[in-house]
Amino acid sequence: MSGTPLSQDSALRGELRVGRNDPPAFFFSALRTRVLKAFPLQADSKCLAIVAPVGYGKTVLMSMLLNDFRHAGKQCLWLSLDDRDLAIEGIISELGGMLHGDEQSLHPAHSLFRGHDLTERRIDMLIHLLNNHPLPLTIFIDNLHFCSDPGLGRLLDQMMFRTRDTLHLVVSSSREMPFDTTRAQLEGLIRQVGVAELSFGEAEVARLLDERLCQAIGESGVAEVTRKTEGWPAAVRMIKILLDGSEQPRLTLESFSGTDESLAQLLNRQVLSTFTAETRDFLLCLAQLRTFSEALCIEAVGGQEVHEHLHYLAEHNVFIIPLDHNRNWFRLHGLFREHLLRESDVLLRPSRRQEILTRAARWCEERSLWREAVEYAFAAGTTGNVVHILDHIAPFFVRNHGGVQYMDWLERLHGRGKQASAEAEYWFVWALAFRRRYEYAHKQITRLSARLQRRKPRADAGDLQRRIANLRISLDYWVDRLEDACLGARQWLDEVRNGEDDAFNLAAAHCIIGCYLINSLHLVEARQAVQSAREMAFQAEGVHAESWVACYDALIVITEGDYADAYASLVRAITRIRVELGDEAGICGTTALMAARCAVAMGLDAEARQLLELGIRSSRSHGFLDAAACGLEAGLMLWRGKDDDAVPMSVLRDVVAAYPQRLSLTFSCFLIRRLIVLGRLDEAVAEAERIGFGLASRQCRNRMENVQRVARLDALIAMTQIELQIVAGRYKQAIPMLNSEIRQAKLSGCNASLVELELNSALVAVRLQDPALGIRHMTRAVRIAASRRIARPFMDRIEVLRTLVSQSKPSVWGFATEEERVFFAQMCRQLNLNDQVKAANLVTAEGSSRALDVLTPREIELLGFIEAGLSNQQMADRIDVSVTTIKWHLQNLYGKLGVSSRTAALARARSMHLRA
């Protein structure tokens, strides 16, 4: 017990780690009970659940099982919980750290952009790690009853039912565990151990008492101990302590009545009474310490006989449990410590208690055991010491521990009417922002700014004020105060200090400006801002920064409607992210959502579904509002109005709820438009009335007053209202709105919107029986859409296309390029057979069948592959491109040949003498 070395792990984490990832090393020899002998080394069930009250030897049993498994060469992990583990986040982080190593501390700005992953996603990431672990694994989790998080049941269910067969669990709790026990039993996945199995029989009681005591009390005495304790292991050990200290064990046993006496009374009257007054006082002092070493006891408790007291307690097995194999750190048994703390409230002077806790806080602080230092300082009531420690540890503890514990400390401090230093309060706001408590964070940073303005200028204030300004910009952005965020970012950039500001912060500021300009539909200026961000991201030298900038750049291109270019760029970014960071990286999901929007716009529904599945998992906790909107729009475009869709409506609504109000209004507009496409007009009108579209203009403004209105959202609202007017047959009202929005779309360069507006104009013309005007609008839409692959609007308005094709002659269609003719032919493939033939004739008449002239070398090469019978994958492997690229080339080839299948393409090519 002489040394107290701290592990490197403890020093790095700023908290005592002993006893966390290894079982206790007991002073006594643990009994190999009958229940232990019943467990085969080859686990016959996925989960062993040990549930019994305190004192039934659950930890002892688990530690012996662990040793058996490890001696048999099995890979095992151990996690012990304590009364600080109230939330499942800690369990997930601990398990993830043991499996994959601790997550590296992220750049502060990137951390805020990334955001804190929600519990569901963190569970998914843990399940992914478990399922990709290379070896069979058994995970031991002791003391699950400490976790009161409602999400614990979900975590256990996921570990039970979503992991591979080679993962096994051994878990213990003093109360029923909140997972689906019925399902686990029906599937044969669980084996339960309770009080009946853990209670000692006479043979086990005799072995625990040892031969000397058994001879002293006889067989009848052993039977009496078993009867009086009802086999409760903790009570048997207490009786052993009593009998070991008695000169007449038999008489002591006879005087003990275990039937009507509480444990606290037993400890008080029987066990503690056997100690000297000095030992009892030492125990009352010792109970103030959660865990202890000899050096900590000397500093905190004081006195010359600490070593002798600890040695005596260890020798007599007085509920002192070693936490490490070197036996440097210890804790008292939970029941014993609880009783001692109750006794100390009466018997220990308050000043003595405060002295012990204050000394313990100082000792832990000197050894960088920050968590223990702060807790002891709080317990001592020395808020000045708390403030001092928090000021020292703030950035380290928040960035390395995610901020939950730190926020709790600051809120406890505020609850006592105290404030930490300005630096510590800054990190409190940062932690709130990281946890997405944006509104509260905004209030706190406003108070902090006012506090700094009131105090005298200091030499070191400039850096802190600049960081506060940067954090306020981020908060304005995340709560969707885009104009305030843009103004703040511009002012912050105007005050840039050469070489002193971080490249990631500079890139983030330019991205925020760019996002505001995109939503204001100032796309030229937005591109300039994003280009500045790209230059800063290059200096930041990381895939995270470059990927964020790629997303904002793609948002410009998506807003313009150049889906083919945006899709190619985003797919390249996703490929790099998956290689360097993996599929579970949040930025991978954000990029995938935006790529899904491009894919669905180009009619690549299968690819869009895959991308949406990849991105939607992280969208509630990672990303930015406009990226989430891309994913939601893609999801709704793929939604068929059924409950069995790949991404259910409930999932989409969950994403909406995680963002500011602007996304809710945006989603409602997307939904109204999709319901119109699906022909569910009553539901579309009902949704429109729900969000205020059916109200008078002033009422509508009042309904939307909490939404941050920007030009991009206004354009979407106008498009939605136009389509509502059209389905209601109010064409006179729709026409001026269409003309106005067409002018605005041309001015802002929003080609995708322009295509939809032209098609809506064509629809109005058809409804007014003016096919010539309808064809002019349709031709304009094709001209804009062809090079950009804007296919979805045509797919959603196929009836307009069918009507115009069936009623027109070749001479009225004016396609200027082969690309337009090919695109038109591809759109017409959705028509019935007769209309497809007529459309093909129109295209042929327009283009005079110049397929040979426009086939590219790659397309001619693909014809050869088709003739050879190669699959898409084989083609991709042969020319070293993706399957998606092959599909793209084939679609272009089919369009140029006017066919829709491989067989038809080959036949058409042969008829044109392109193949032998």
pLDDT of the residue at 12: 46
pLDDT of the residue at 826: 81
Report the relative pairing of strands 190-193 and 47-51 from DSSP bridges.
parallel
Q: Name 381's Cβ contacts closer than 8 Å, sequence gap at least 6.
A: 354
Least confident of 104-108, 401-405, 624-628, 828-832: 104-108
Looking at CATH, the fold of the domain delimited by 854-911 is given as: Arc Repressor Mutant, subunit A (1.10.10)
Token duo for residue 915: 């193949």
Least confident of 434-438, 509-513, 516-520, 552-556: 434-438
pLDDT higher at 130 or 8: 130
Of 174, 179, 168, residue with least CA distance to 45:
168
What's the pLDDT tens digit per position in 484-505? 999 999 999 988 777 677 888 8
pLDDT higher at 94 or 810: 94
Token duo for residue 181: 């026990």
Domain ranges of the chain: 32-198, 202-274, 382-479, 661-709, 854-911
What's the pLDDT tens digit per position in 177-206? 888 888 988 888 999 998 888 888 888 888
Distance CA 370, CA 608 (A): 48
Of 79, 64, 73, residue with least CA distance to 32:
64
Question: In this structure, which long-range contacts are made by residues 848-854, counting pairs with CB atoms below 8 Å and at least 24 apart in sequence?
Answer: 850/818, 851/896, 851/897, 851/898, 851/912, 852/912, 852/914, 853/818, 854/818, 854/822, 854/896
What's the pLDDT tens digit per position in 781-800? 998 998 888 989 998 888 88
Mean predicted confidence (pLDDT) in 729-752 = 93
pLDDT of the residue at 11: 47
Token duo for residue 161: 């039912």
pLDDT of the residue at 851: 42
Number of Cβ atoms within 10 Å of the Cβ of 102:
14
Token duo for residue 589: 């999901």
Distance CA 855, CA 715 (A): 39
Mean predicted confidence (pLDDT) in 31-39 = 75
Tell me the helices (H) and strands (E) count for the chain, helix number first: 49, 8
With a cut of 60, say whether residue 452 has pLDDT above it. yes
Distance CA 365, CA 350 (A): 22
Mean predicted confidence (pLDDT) in 659-664 = 91
**Residue 56 burial (10 A CB sphere; 0-12, 13-18, 19+):** buried
Distances (CA, A) of 710 to 142, 520, 626: 53, 6, 12
pLDDT of the residue at 245: 76
- pLDDT category at 849 given cuts 50, 70, 90 is very low
Query: pLDDT exceeding 90 applies to what percent of the chain?
Result: 34
What's the pLDDT tens digit per position in 574-583? 999 888 888 7
What's the pLDDT tens digit per position in 333-359? 877 888 889 889 999 999 999 999 999
Q: Are 270 and 239 contacting, i.e. CB atoms less than 8 angstroms apart?
A: no
**Sign of the torsion formed by the C-alpha atoms of 641, 646, 649 and 655:** negative
Q: What is the CATH number of domain 32-198?
A: 3.40.50.300
- pLDDT category at 853 given cuts 50, 70, 90 is very low
Least confident of 112-116, 215-219, 739-743: 112-116
Mean predicted confidence (pLDDT) in 633-641 = 91
Token duo for residue 395: 């950035």
- Which DSSP string do the residues of 440-476 spell out, in sequence order? HHHHHHHHHHHHHHHSPP-TTHHHHHHHHHHHHHHHH
- Which DSSP string do the residues of 381-425 spell out, in sequence order? T-HHHHHHHHHHHHHHHHHHHTTHHHHHHHHHHHHTT----HHHH
Token duo for residue 910: 């042969």
pLDDT higher at 260 or 368: 368
Q: pTM of the prediction?
A: 0.73
With a cut of 50, say whether residue 263 has pLDDT above it. no
Average pLDDT, the chain: 83
Distance CA 344, CA 342 (A): 5
pLDDT of the residue at 693: 81
- pLDDT category at 835 given cuts 50, 70, 90 is low
- pLDDT category at 838 given cuts 50, 70, 90 is low
Least confident of 139-143, 737-741, 900-904: 900-904
pLDDT of the residue at 101: 64
pLDDT of the residue at 647: 77
- pLDDT category at 821 given cuts 50, 70, 90 is confident
Give me the residues paired with residue 331 across strands: 321
pLDDT of the residue at 47: 92
- pLDDT category at 378 given cuts 50, 70, 90 is very high
CA atoms within 13 A on the CB side of 711: 18
With a cut of 80, say whether residue 834 has pLDDT above it. no
State the DSSP H helix or E strand holding residue 582, giving kind and residue range, or none if neither.
none
With a cut of 60, say whether residue 618 has pLDDT above it. yes
Least confident of 349-358, 666-675, 696-705: 696-705
pLDDT of the residue at 864: 87
Token duo for residue 548: 């964020």
- pLDDT category at 60 given cuts 50, 70, 90 is confident
- pLDDT category at 43 given cuts 50, 70, 90 is low
